[in-house]
Structure 1
C-alpha cells in the first residue's frame, strides 16, 4: 500500500488539494502499478509561522 505524505504551506484551496491527491495517486499508480484503491495521500497543511526558510519563517518572508 503506497502512502504519500505531502507537506505544503497553508492556504491552498480545497480544489487544489483535491487535484494534488488525484495527480499523486495517478503518478503512484503508473510508477509502481499499485491499484488506486490501495494508495493513500496525506496532505500536511503547515502554518506559515512553522515553516522556516534560511532562518526566517515563511510568514515573515511574506510567502
Structure 2
C-alpha cells in the first residue's frame, strides 16, 4: 500500500488507547487508508507539495541559501 502526505487542520488525538497526537499544520506521511480516514473526518487534507525549484527560490529570497 502506498503512503500519502496529509496536513492536519487542527490539533487531533487518536481516540484509541495510547493514540497518537497530531498538531495543526503538521504534515505526516501515512498509509493511504489512514490518510482517507483523517480526511473523511475533516481533520486533515492532502498536503500540497511544491516543486523543488520553487522551494529553492523561496529560500534564496529569504536569504537562507
TM-score after normalising by structure 1: 0.30
Give the number of the structure with larger relative contact order, counting CA–CA contacts within 8 Å between residues 6 or more apart: 1
Please identify which structure carries the higher helix content: 1
